[in-house]
């Protein structure tokens, strides 16, 4: 996409006429991490895709979510799978994000992963991996919303996360370490 397309809308102007390019630009202002969702189809094959819609939802019970697009080749698998994994990428893993964002099968071939107890793939070297059981799958426009209960997780350590912002990969100017304790995080009990 062109540079021009991702120019933010004029500052201060409240827009009521919404279209897809404007929404993409606006949504792209929200910087996110990047995760790989993994699941197993009924025939046993593995599916996987890059998402930036992964989010934490609840601590008690432990819930996370992500949004699969209805246009995905394996949408039915993501929307109906009993188990799925989410592996949060480190900045060194951008090529995996690119790989898992391409259409096609066999995305897990030649990728280093381990299989969790529920049969879903957990990426090696990811900053954190979550193994989840789907609790609910909601319809939401051109996407679905899959909510999952975290059954197990593996934290790799203090890796620097890959960031997605305005349709580009970037890195944090200053990555937080576990020993940083910003006031906001303390106030929220995080």
How many other β-carbons are positioned within 10 Å of the β-carbon of residue 167?
12
- Nearest distance in Å: CB 166, ligand FMN: 11
How many other β-carbons are positioned within 10 Å of the β-carbon of residue 154?
16
Record the tokens describing residue 124, joined without a space.
């090696």
Q: Which of residues 118-177 bind ligand FMN (CB under 6 A)?
A: 164
- Nearest distance in Å: CB 115, ligand FMN: 20
Torsion angles phi and psi, residue 93, rounded to 5: -105, 25
Nearer to ligand FMN, 101 or 151 (CB): 101
Q: Which of residues 30-69 bind ligand FMN (CB under 6 A)?
A: 34, 49-53, 67-69
Length of the chain: 190
- Nearest distance in Å: CB 75, ligand FMN: 8
Listed in sequence order, the residues at least 6 apart from 45 whose beta carbon sits closer than 8 Å to its beta carbon are 105
72-81 burial, b at 16+ Cβ within 10 Å, e below that, comes to bebbebbbeb
Position among 72, 91, 153, 156 found at the interface with ligand FMN (CB under 6 A): 72
Nearest to 146 by CA among 87, 79, 99: 79
- Nearest distance in Å: CB 29, ligand FMN: 15
Nearer to ligand FMN, 68 or 148 (CB): 68
- Nearest distance in Å: CB 182, ligand FMN: 26
Give the footprint of ligand FMN on this chain (CB under 6 A). Answer: 34, 49-53, 67-69, 72-74, 97, 100-101, 103-104, 164
């Amino acid at each position: 996409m062109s540079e021009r397309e991702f120019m933010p809308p004029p500052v201060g102007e409240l827009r009521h006429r919404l279209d897809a390019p404007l929404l993409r630009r606006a949504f792209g202002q929200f910087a996110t991490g990047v995760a790989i969702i993994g699941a197993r189809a009924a025939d046993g094959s593995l599916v996987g895709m890059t998402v930036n819609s992964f989010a934490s939802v609840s601590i008690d019970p432990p819930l996370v979510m992500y949004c699969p697009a209805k246009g995905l080749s394996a949408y039915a698998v993501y929307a109906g799978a009993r188990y799925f994994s989410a592996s949060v990428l480190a900045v060194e893993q951008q090529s995996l994000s690119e790989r898992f964002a391409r259409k096609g099968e066999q995305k897990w071939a030649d990728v280093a992963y381990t299989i969790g107890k529920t049969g879903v793939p957990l990426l090696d070297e990811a900053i954190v991996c979550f193994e989840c059981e789907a609790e609910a799958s909601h319809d939401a426009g051109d996407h679905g919303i899959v909510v999952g209960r975290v059954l197990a997780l593996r934290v790799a350590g203090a890796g620097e996360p890959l960031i997605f912002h305005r349709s580009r990969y970037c890195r944090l100017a200053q990555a937080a370490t576990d020993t940083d304790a910003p006031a906001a995080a303390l106030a929220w009990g995080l």
